[in-house]
Structure formats: C-alpha cells, structure tokens
Structure 1
C-alpha cells in the first residue's frame, strides 16, 4: 500500500449527535434498536427556549441512541399532523449514511430485509464504494455504506483521491485553473491509485 498523505488536524472530533424529528417515537425506537441494532441510551424532556433555537414546543421528548463510533442519533417527538420536511430542498438533510465494514455489508443488508424493510441495493458507486438505501418509519432516507479499502484504514482515508481525480471534478466547478490549483493544494492527495485489497467476495451480492 502506498504511504498515506498527511491529513490536516481538525479541531472537531466528529459527530456528537444528529437530531431529527419524529411524530411516532415508539415506532422509531423499535426501528433503530431492532433493525439497526442501536441501543437507546438517554431519555429526557426539553423545555422551549426560543433564544436557543429549540423546537417550538414545550416539554418535548428527546431520546438518544448509540449509533457507534462514540456518536449519538437523537429524535424529538413532535405533535402528529405536521407536514413532512422536503429533504431535497436547500438546507434539508438529504440522508444519513452509516458505515459498515465490507465483510459485514451483505449480512447487514440481509438482516434489514428480514425485518420487512424495502432495501434498494447493493449499488456500486464506482471504484471501491458500495451502498444500500432504505427509509425509517419517519421517511428519513438511510444508507448503509461500505468500501473495499481495508477496515483499519478508516472512513476518511478511504475516500482520498488522486490529483487527477480531484482536478477532473473541480474543473467542472471552477472556470479558473488557479482556483482549482489552490483547492488541490489544501487537500490530502493520493500519489498513486490505491491497490484494491483482495477479498473472497469481489462485490456485494
């Protein structure tokens, strides 16, 4: 394997929690614990505090699930009958992608399907990346993502690209080559394409 380019230190460690809205907390609790294997770890009520940007309802339930990687997934329980958000508008959360090691990818898809959940995939995203898609009871689009890169490599290093790959994409965003060069200079770049690891399973079934 080629030496990894240095990654710039980031003051943010990662996700503390993601907070979403449901109008059916029991169904949400069942889905995330039974289908995705998360554990409910914290339950509380939150008051309405306008100046803090809190939800516009008082004494809401706010429940937290352990989603792995020392990160939490949280839900507020809103009153029933409110309109659904449009995830495809600017500012919307389009989907959540959970990472699953490549060796466990097929088994995870099979298990989700066994819970009577409609799954699209596995889908090749090009190169070493594969995903599968489905929805939770609230209509939130979920993704199970994996990579053929070795598990010990980690999620961030597994998505690094060569300068050629980066330049090809950034050139579609910026007309000025100097801007493209400036952004490439800020990015960790793979010197050569990474060799694909050898797996018994060449692609998810």
Structure 2
C-alpha cells in the first residue's frame, strides 16, 4: 500500500518578480532583451517611502522584464559609483537560475555564446540538473538549467529525494535524530504519493 504524505496548503504559487540593482539601465535592457530574449514589459519611477525597506533613493527607475511562465525580472537603477554587492556573503544572492526546456537548452546556450558572453559549461551537476553559467553586465551570476532526466517531472518534483538521501544530508546538520525525523516528516519523498489538502 502506498503511503500518502499530507502537505500543508501552499501559501505561494511561484515567483512574481525578482528585483535586482543596476547602475546602468540601458546596458541592462540591452543584455536582457538581446542575450536572454526577455521582453521589456513595464517601466516606471518609484518615489522614496521611509520605513518600507525599499531602495533609499527617490525617483528610481524600476523596469520589468518578462522572464517566462508568468514571472517577472525587475531592476532598480541606483546611482553610479556605489560599492558592489558580494554574492558570496550571507544576505547576498548567489545566483539566478532560469529553467529552459530540454529541447531548447543547447540553442539557448549557443545564443548566449553568440552574443559575445563567456559561458561556463554546459555541465552535468548530478541528478536531473544540466547547467551553464555566465554573468550579466552588472556582475550577477546567471544559470541556464534544464532537466535531462529520463522520467518526466515538474521542476519541483525533479528535486525530490529518497528518504535515505534526505536523511543522510540532514544528519550532517542535526545531531538530534528527532530533528531529522521532524524534517523528513515534512518533506515530499521520492516514490511517495503527495497530496495537498
């Protein structure tokens, strides 16, 4: 008999938009519309509002690109001359990975290269992951990734693990086996039937 794992209702349904910072909006527009073939879909200015956690500058450009699958990529244009973010420190964003259909992956990588951008890979990262890496002109590390597994699955389903795989990794984080059991109980496990109430 197959065990059915009950998961709590999902609060989110994916990425609405990611917001990054540039100090050169025309350069950023050229890169994302030409190299990654995203459409510019919204342009605006944003007034400064105190205590909202938003950028500390008034009247910033805030432009949006369609990155596919009903999600947006946005950029604020900050003044020139500011320090650069370090993606390899806590609180930084290490990289952004764009999902590409398997049948379009090789052409997408070739298009980025043909646009004069240095690409690392493509390479297998184990499991379903097959990826190529490059940088945008702002220094943001980008990834094109696809699923080359033989079993069809969604992006989320493609990263499910067996209980043994998950338990092995969680044992490196927690010394208390009850904590490992707690997290395993909340994870979808490869081979288990999952239902959302």
TM-score by length of 1: 0.87
CA contact (8 A) 2:127 2:149 kept: no
CA change 1:151–1:64 in 2 (3 A) is farther
SS of equivalent residue, structure 2 residue 26: helix
Determine the structure 2 residue equivalent to 1:201: none
The gaps in structure 2 that reach 5 residues or longer are 193-197
What's 1:112 paired with?
Answer: 112
How many residues end up aligned between the 2 structures? 191
Q: Hey, what's the Cα distance between the residues in 1 that align with 2:6 and 2:130?
A: 25
Residues 90-169 of structure 1: matches in 2 within 5 Å?
90-149=90-149, 153-169=153-169
**Aligned equivalents of 1:96, 1:53: Cα separation in 2:** 22
Q: In structure 1, list runs of 5 or more residues that go unmatched.
A: 193-205
How far is 1:176 from its partner? 1.3
Note the C-alpha offset of 1:128.
2.3
Alignment deviations for residues 94-139 of structure 1 (CA, whole Å, 9 cap, x no partner): 1101111122111111110000000001121112211110000100
- Report the equivalent of 2:195: none
Which is worse superposed, 113-122 or 53-62?
Answer: 53-62
Higher relative contact order (CA 8 A, sep 6+): 2
Q: Is the 8 A contact 1:160 1:189 kept in 2?
A: yes
**1:191/1:19 Cα in 2 relative to 1: closer, same or farther (>3 Å)?**
same
> How far, CA to CA, are the matches of 2:4 and 2:124 in structure 1?
25
User: What is the deviation of 1:21?
Assistant: 0.5
Please say if residues 40 and 65 of structure 1, whose CA atoms lie closer than 8 Å, have aligned partners that are also in contact. yes
Q: Distance in 1 between matches of 2:6 and 2:146?
A: 23
More off after superposition, 141-150 vs 15-24: 141-150
TM-score of the two chains, using structure 2 as the length reference:
0.91
Change (3 A) 1:121 1:7: farther
CA–CA separation in structure 2 for the residues paired with 1:25 and 1:124:
33
More strand by share: 2
| Equivalent in the alignment of 1:80 | 80
* Residues 32/134 of structure 1: CA separation in 2 closer, same or farther (3 Å cut): same
Distance of 2:119 and 2:153 partners within structure 1 = 27
Aligned equivalents of 2:52 and 2:151: distance in 1?
Answer: 39
CA-based RMSD of the aligned residues comes to 2.0
1:30, distance to aligned residue in structure 2 (A): 0.6
Q: Is the 8 A contact 2:128 2:158 kept in 1?
A: no
